[in-house]
Amino acid sequence: MGTMTAALTDAHMEVQALAREFAAAEIAPRAADWNARTHVPVDVIRRMGELGLLAPTIPERYGGPGLDATALCLIVEEIARADAGLAVPIAVQAGLVASPLLRAGTDAQKEEWLPRLATGEVLGCYALTEPDAGSDTAALRTRAEPDGDGWQITGAKQWISNGALAEVFIIFARTGGEGARGISAFITGPADGLLVGREIPKLGLHTSSTVELSFDAMPVGPEARLGPEGEGLKLALATLDGGRITVAAQACGIAQAAIDLAVSYASGRDAFGGPIARFQGVQFPIADVAARLDAARLLTHHAAGLRDAGKPHGPAGAKAKLVASAVAVAAADVAVQTLGGYGYSAEYAAERLYRDAKITEIYEGTSQIQRLVIARDLFGDAAR
């Protein structure tokens, strides 16, 4: 089935083919079993690192593939098409850990962490969200108190993807007063005072680790601060601007998998004397989501292209995520409906796609937050 993309280079096509082949061989045949057991296949995540699929945007000088944001989107979509949960470590490693490190890190920080992040030797996580600070990131309470030359971090984080696997943590903590200007960022390995909580039971993404983290006077050295003091929230929001493009790509992968499943089933399912694919009542809902997916994919690649060109991409990424997440949910719904009773059965992939799709409307900024970003771009100060 033909899919529409913006103009891709040979390098893009090569990495897309690599990701597609890996997903087909190593992920798709085992995804149902992993999801049923809520198993996070760390060996497969490390293997993606060895192949350069885990953090493809890390430059060659730090041991990475040196690919662009468009290539990252192509990889994420192909992996998510086979299993949405296994796209999460890529989105975290490349979009939430390597990206702010490249943006704000010192040479020493980059040399220490980027080569190992590139190969999957270490896995990272991004500790921003708290029990009382989700969409309202400026309200976070975790504190970093001065301690000699460094700091001690105390507080709690929630919904931390990759948290149980992480060997490097990007932590946002308050070093000053209330509000946005009092927050700084840190990058550190595990230390005394770090407590990794239980895996949080989730509706979907059963192959992805999501935990609570708590810090009890966890020491970090003076070399751990990432970027200037008090600039942490600015770094966090800039990171999310790029991360939303990656989530949009994940949503496109889920939608494509749902369409593939619906088309395959409808073409092979006989009723009333022939395949149900000949009925417009079956064809049209699938046709609608296929058109919307092409639009979402083009928005996603457009936003990635702006990022690659060094141009502002916040509103474009918000539009891509808003549209792509909505089509992921719609396409999964169409797949369940097309399969009928089988769609409702846990023995078929449709119900997993249905559960996995919903998170794309929630994490890295809810759909409401995306609308806020878009509206503020349209209205400027009048929207505030």
Please compute the mean of the pLDDT values over residues 256-274 and round it to a whole number.
Answer: 97
State how far the Cα of 308 lies from the Cα of 301, in Å rounded to an integer.
10
pLDDT digits (tens, 9 = 90+) for 14-44: 999 999 999 999 999 999 999 999 999 999 9
Q: Which residue has the tokens 């006077």?
A: 217
Is residue 3 scored above 70 in pLDDT? no
Q: Are 183 and 230 in contact (CB under 8 A)?
A: yes
Ramachandran area for residue 307 (φ above 0: left; ψ -120 to 50: alpha; else beta): alpha
Is residue 219 scored above 80 in pLDDT? yes
Q: How confident is the model at residue 333 (pLDDT cuts 50, 70, 90)?
A: very high
Phi, psi for residue 309 in degrees, rounded to 5: -85, 0
- For residue 240, give every residue at least 6 positions away whose Cβ sits within 8 Å of its Cβ, in sequence order, or none: 364, 365
Q: Are 365 and 318 in contact (CB under 8 A)?
A: yes
Is residue 292 scored above 50 in pLDDT? yes
Residue spans in the chain of domains classed CATH 2.40.110.10? 125-229
Q: How confident is the model at residue 1 (pLDDT cuts 50, 70, 90)?
A: very low
| Topology, domain 234-383 | Butyryl-CoA Dehydrogenase, subunit A; domain 3 (1.20.140)
Residue spans in the chain of domains classed CATH 1.20.140.10? 234-383
Q: What is the pTM of this model?
A: 0.96
Q: Give the pLDDT confidence score for residue 134 in this predicted structure.
A: 83
Task: Classify residue 324 by burial, with Cβ atoms within 10 Å: 0-12, 13-18, 19+.
Answer: buried
pLDDT digits (tens, 9 = 90+) for 94-105: 999 999 999 999
Residue spans in the chain of domains classed CATH 1.10.540.10? 10-123
Q: How confident is the model at residue 135 (pLDDT cuts 50, 70, 90)?
A: confident
Q: Give the pLDDT confidence score for residue 7 in this predicted structure.
A: 81
Q: Give the pLDDT confidence score for residue 383 in this predicted structure.
A: 86
CA 298: distance to chain centroid?
18
Give the number of other CB atoms < 10 A from CB of residue 346. Answer: 12
Tell me if the domain spanning 10-123 has CATH number 1.10.540.10: yes
Q: Active-site residues: which are they?
A: 364
Q: How confident is the model at residue 6 (pLDDT cuts 50, 70, 90)?
A: low
User: What is the chain's alpha carbon radius of gyration, rounded to the nearest angstrom?
Assistant: 21
pLDDT digits (tens, 9 = 90+) for 171-208: 999 999 888 899 999 999 999 999 999 999 999 999 99
Is residue 108 scored above 50 in pLDDT? yes
For residue 350, what are the CA distances in angstroms to 255, 286, 289, 327?
A: 11, 14, 15, 15
Rounded to the nearest integer, the mean pLDDT of the chain is 96
Per CATH, the homologous superfamily of domain 125-229 is Butyryl-CoA Dehydrogenase, subunit A, domain 2 (2.40.110.10)
Please compute the mean of the pLDDT values over residues 63-72 and round it to a whole number.
Answer: 97
